[in-house]
Amino acid sequence: MNSRQRLMAALNHQEPDKVPFDLGGTVLTSLHVNTYRNLRKYLGLPEVEVQVMDIFQQIAVVDEDVRARLGSDVRVVSPRSSATFRIAINTTDLPGYDFFHDEWHIGWRKPKEGGFFYDMFDHPLSKASTIEEIKNFPWPDPVDPARFEGLRERAQHTAETLGEPVILGGLAAGFWELTCWTRGFGKVYPDLVNNLPWLEYLMDTIVDLKIAYWEKALPLVGEYADVVQEADDVAGQFGLLISPDIYRRVIKPRHKKIFDFIKARSQAKIFYHCCGAIRDIIPDLIEVGVDAINPVQVSAKGMESKGLKRDFGKDITFWGGLVDTQGVFTDGTPQQVKDEARRRIDDFAPGGGFVAAAVHNIQANVPPENVVAMWEALQEYGVYGAESAPGRRPESYWAGYPEAPVVVRAASQSPDAIAGRALTPEEAARLFEEQHGDLSPVLNELKDAIINGNPQVAIEKANKALAEGVSAATIINDVVIPSMEIVGSKFECGDYFLPEMMASAIGTQGVMKALRPKLVEGGGQPAATAAIGTVKGDLHDIGKNLVAMMWEGAGFNVIDLGPDVPAEKFVSAIREHNVQLVGLSALLTTTMPMMGKIITAIEEAGLRERVKIMIGGPGTTPEFASEIGADGYAPDASAAVRRAKELLAG
């Protein structure tokens, strides 16, 4: 069986000779360049100049010698850039960073010191508000002939000469991702709540560009296109970022349009990448024609391998999930990695429908011996028909094997709500009623505008209340803070997702901006001053922004230091602003150790006694918080408010 036959058998839910393996086959299943260099060395292969497969993620092209040695079965065939576009890296005009703009005019930057990746910092449509601006935007030409030069020949070579499957790359990223990247994450989620027609126009413009690309690429590559690659991240660690309802009303019809178009013109299977906890929408993905999901983030909520295979294994292929960089891959022993890989093979491989790959690109902190241990597990346990084949283990093996957890769909994704530590929305509403039930009409309207995520009305009503003589302190204490408590409880119980929560929080931010000067004039004080940032090396800021907004909504004066924040900046913020609460956010296992370093720096500056320190982010835990000497941990933005108040009170 060659690699092409092996992969196609797996995708058709048949057992090939062995589980197909993807190492470096796509931009979502490769290794960080540093890890790749280490792996080559570990395998005793000669030093080579490592080619970068994707400049943004700094992942490597896996060379033929490694592919042959480890038997990778997958190879992407991607379009080239348009004729007019070349990346021009600017090393001078943004202090501390190298940066460039891509052909969608999105700005990307990499920290000069210790930066692992290029990340977005400039979203070209972030200030746009009219349809005309979308129409007049200089969109890249999806059918520029330069993109397609040699595409068919490369596909033919891959399929016929190498006997490998052709994974046909798409135009840049998924339509939703491109919407987020051009508009900006901070704008796109609230737009889903209160600017939807405009946003839909933007989405449809991008969908049309993508379809124009597929219209040309598919007939050109023809019978060689085995798999096409699409990607749209819509989930985080504990659940979807958007509600299933918004997915179904807004995103799914556009996925369907693109996938139907592809399926009508080719036999290709659809590979769809989406990180995080996507269990709730897997049936929808199956319905719109997705054949394989990646990266199967088994550490995310509801994504346990055995349960996924049990519930969806007949209809979808799991492409990934072998070992997760959020777990033992990074800090476990090779034996632990092997055990983990073996368990995933056992779960996913029986009956086909499994393409073995790590959960997402293998990060810069994964030791090479662990990459090899993952591969060894596959050689030992991933051979169908063998004594040790998936599903043919001796009885002794199964003793002590974890049972597939039965997934009970809780209304809530939040650890605090599940544990009963959070107020339910009903309790929060009752409390509001008891404490502030006799609000004037304008304050009632302000409350509704905050809870329903209508920023403009919220600001208007706050100003009207001020004009009517209500004090800033009353507006904040009697309306803003308890309204945001209701919003937080809705988020924790799963009624609200990122868009609704951000829309409310943006309204609150605007209200607080208008009220703060009046509060100072009236001799009022903010509840506390907090400095928050995502730690150095980490540019994920959606969660941090949400925590900052919720803290602001709880009446704190918040100094948002941004993403990629070094220890010195936290230290100076504490000194300059008389900070009482420090918030550290990190989403990468490569940057979590930076949290400990920042705490040490605060100690060394003699400031530790002055502040409480809270941490959060999907890889962090209460145990990790105490290990590094933080005072507290919160799993989400609403819990972060509760914890902050507890810490400051204690």
Residues 48-77 that bind ligand B1M (CB under 6 A): 57
Contacts of 475 (CB under 8 A, 6+ apart): 443, 446, 462, 465, 466, 511, 515
User: Could you say whether residue 546 binds ligand B1M (CB under 6 A)?
Assistant: yes
Residues 377-436 that bind ligand B1M (CB under 6 A): none
User: Could you say whether residue 646 binds ligand B1M (CB under 6 A)?
Assistant: no
Among 77, 258, 475, 584, interactor with ligand B1M by CB under 6 A:
584
Six token digits for residue 176 = 């939703």
Does residue 295 have a cis bond before it (omega within 30 degrees)?
A: yes
User: Could you say whether residue 588 binds ligand B1M (CB under 6 A)?
Assistant: yes
CB of 218 to ligand B1M, least distance (A): 26
**CB closer to ligand B1M out of 159 and 598:** 598
CA–CA separation, 383 and 389 (whole Å): 5
User: Could you say whether residue 528 binds ligand B1M (CB under 6 A)?
Assistant: no
Per-residue DSSP letters for 349-417?
-TTS-EEB--BSSBPTT--HHHHHHHHHHHHHH-BTTSTT-TT---HHHHTTPPPPPP----S---HHH
User: Could you say whether residue 19 binds ligand B1M (CB under 6 A)?
Assistant: no
Look at residues 623, 638, 644 and name the one whose alpha carbon lies nearest to residue 416.
638
**CB closer to ligand B1M out of 224 and 496:** 496
Q: Please state whether 645 falls in left (phi above 0), alpha (psi between -120 and 50) or beta.
A: alpha
Among 6, 109, 254, 360, interactor with ligand B1M by CB under 6 A:
360
Among 21, 99, 108, 117, interactor with ligand B1M by CB under 6 A:
117
Q: Which range, of 216-224, 301-309, 358-366, 389-397, touches ligand B1M by CB under 6 A?
A: 358-366
User: Could you say whether residue 209 binds ligand B1M (CB under 6 A)?
Assistant: no
User: Could you say whether residue 542 binds ligand B1M (CB under 6 A)?
Assistant: yes
- Measure Cα distances from 483 to 186, 435, 489, 501, 558 in Å: 21, 12, 10, 12, 18
Among 512, 549, 571, 637, interactor with ligand B1M by CB under 6 A:
637
CA–CA separation, 111 and 102 (whole Å): 17
CA–CA separation, 177 and 198 (whole Å): 16
Among 305, 619, 641, 642, interactor with ligand B1M by CB under 6 A:
619
User: Could you say whether residue 561 binds ligand B1M (CB under 6 A)?
Assistant: no
**CB closer to ligand B1M out of 486 and 546:** 546
User: Could you say whether residue 547 binds ligand B1M (CB under 6 A)?
Assistant: yes
The 177-196 site mask, x for binding ligand B1M (CB under 6 A), equals --------x-----------
User: Could you say whether residue 158 binds ligand B1M (CB under 6 A)?
Assistant: no
CB of 281 to ligand B1M, least distance (A): 14
Ranges assigned E (strand) in 25-150: 52-54, 59-60, 75-77, 97-101, 107-111, 119-122
Six token digits for residue 188 = 């796109």
Residues 231-290 that bind ligand B1M (CB under 6 A): 233, 236-237, 241, 275-276
DSSP-H helix ranges across 452-604: 455-467, 472-474, 481-492, 498-521, 542-553, 567-577, 592-604
The terminus-to-terminus CA distance of the chain in angstroms comes to 65
Q: Which range, of 250-258, 385-393, 402-410, 583-591, touches ligand B1M by CB under 6 A?
A: 583-591
- The amino acid at residue 265 is R
Structural element, H or E, at residue 294: strand 292-294
User: Could you say whether residue 634 binds ligand B1M (CB under 6 A)?
Assistant: yes
CA–CA separation, 641 and 628 (whole Å): 21
CB atoms within 10 A of CB 527: 18
Is the separation of the CB atoms in 500 and 245 below 8 Å? no
User: Could you say whether residue 535 binds ligand B1M (CB under 6 A)?
Assistant: no
**CB closer to ligand B1M out of 224 and 491:** 491
User: Could you say whether residue 614 binds ligand B1M (CB under 6 A)?
Assistant: yes
User: Could you say whether residue 647 binds ligand B1M (CB under 6 A)?
Assistant: no
User: Could you say whether residue 573 binds ligand B1M (CB under 6 A)?
Assistant: no
User: Could you say whether residue 35 binds ligand B1M (CB under 6 A)?
Assistant: no
Among 498, 554, 594, 598, interactor with ligand B1M by CB under 6 A:
498
CB of 337 to ligand B1M, least distance (A): 14
Look at residues 321, 178, 320, 314 and name the one whose alpha carbon lies nearest to residue 251.
178
CB of 376 to ligand B1M, least distance (A): 21
CB of 26 to ligand B1M, least distance (A): 12
Among 140, 170, 295, 453, interactor with ligand B1M by CB under 6 A:
295
CB of 322 to ligand B1M, least distance (A): 13
Total residues at the site for ligand B1M (CB under 6 A)?
A: 47
CA–CA separation, 109 and 89 (whole Å): 9
Look at residues 418, 505, 423, 494 and name the one whose alpha carbon lies nearest to residue 242.
494
**CB closer to ligand B1M out of 158 and 589:** 589
CA–CA separation, 558 and 540 (whole Å): 18
Among 300, 358, 451, 480, interactor with ligand B1M by CB under 6 A:
300
- The amino acid at residue 614 is M
Among 3, 179, 266, 297, interactor with ligand B1M by CB under 6 A:
297
Six token digits for residue 544 = 């941090």
Beta-bridge partner residues of 271: 229, 292
Q: Which range, of 311-319, 378-386, 456-464, 543-551, touches ligand B1M by CB under 6 A?
A: 543-551
Angle 430-431-435 from CA coordinates, rounded to 5°: 120
CB of 65 to ligand B1M, least distance (A): 24
Contact footprint for ligand B1M (CB under 6 A): 57, 117, 119-120, 185, 233, 236-237, 241, 275-276, 295, 297, 300, 325-326, 359-361, 363, 498, 532, 538-544, 546-547, 583-585, 587-589, 614-619, 634, 636-637, 640
